[in-house]
Amino acid sequence: MIPLSWYLILSAALFSIGLFGVLARRNAIAILLGVELMLNAVNINLVAFWRYLDPTVMTGQVFAIIVFAVAAAEVAVGLALVISVYRNRKTVVADELDMMKW
């Protein structure tokens, strides 16, 4: 059986890619994609720990499903926000969206 650490390394790698995408990409949609990657990295973690530690308790799976739901909702809201911002500012470049500055 594949050891647990492999899954964890995969998960960490996926999380890092997502994090990099969130921090480095300029397009808002790409940032959202990075967020999704990070969420899914967490899901892998949850499921892996469930499987390897105590498969009789369904907590890990349930958590993962809740994260899916939250992620779906989040993407819906996030994309709507991006479209709204685009309509107003004609851009989705994160650097140009500095309305929250003082």
Partner 1 sequence: MATETLIWLIPLPPALAFFLIVLFTNKSKALSHTVAVGAAALSWLGSMVVFFRAIGMEHLGEHPFESSIGWLPTGDTWFRIGVLIDPLGAAVLFFVAWTIFMIFLYSVGYQNFGQPKGDHDRMGLPPHGATVTDEHGHKHTVPSVEPMYSRFFAFLGLFAFGMYTLVVSDNLLTMFVGWEIMGLCSYLLIGFWYGKKSARDAAIKAFMTTRIGDVFMLLGISFLYSATGTLSFRAIFTEEVLHVLATTPAFFGLSAAGAIALLLFIGTVGKSAQWPLHVWLPDAMEGPTPVSAMIHAATMVSAGVYAVIRMFPLLTADFTGHGLTTAMSVVAFIGAFTALFSATIAVAQNDIKRVLAYSTISQLGFMIAALGIGAYVAAAFHLITHAFFKALLFLGSGSVIHGMEHGVLHTGDHSVDPQDMFNMGGLRKRMPITFWTFLIGGFALSGFPVITAGFWSKDEILADAWAHHHYTVFIVLAVAAFLTAFYTMRQITLTFLGEARTKEAEHAHETPWTMTVPLMVLAFFAITYGWVGIPEHFPGLGGIVPNWFHDFVGHTLEHVPAAPEFSWIPLLTSLGVALGGLFFGWLVYRNVNSPAEDKLQIPLLKNKWYFDEAYDFLFVKPAYWFSETFVSAWMDKGVIDSILHAFGKVTGWLGSAIRNYIDTPIINEFIGDGTARVAQWFGGRLQPIQTGRIQQYMLASLGVLIIVGGILFSLLVGG
- Closer residue to partner 1 in complex, CB, 19/67: 19
Smallest gap from Cβ 60 to partner 1, in A, equals: 23
Residues of this chain, 28-67, that bind partner 1 according to CB under 8 A: 31
Site residue total, partner 1 (CB under 8 A): 13
Task: Pick the stretch among 6-14, 23-31, 54-62, 83-91 that binds partner 1 (CB under 8 A).
Answer: 23-31
Packing angle, helices 59-89 and 28-53, rounded to 10: 180
User: 3-class secondary structure for 22-73?
Assistant: HHHCCEHHHHHHHHHHHHHHHHHHHHHHHHHHCCCCCHHHHHHHHHHHHHHH
Q: In this chain, which of 4, 9, 23, 62 binds partner 1, going by CB under 8 A?
A: 23
| Phi, psi for residue 54 in degrees, rounded to 5 | -150, 85
**Residues interacting with partner 1, by CB under 8 A?**
19, 22-24, 31, 94-95, 97-102
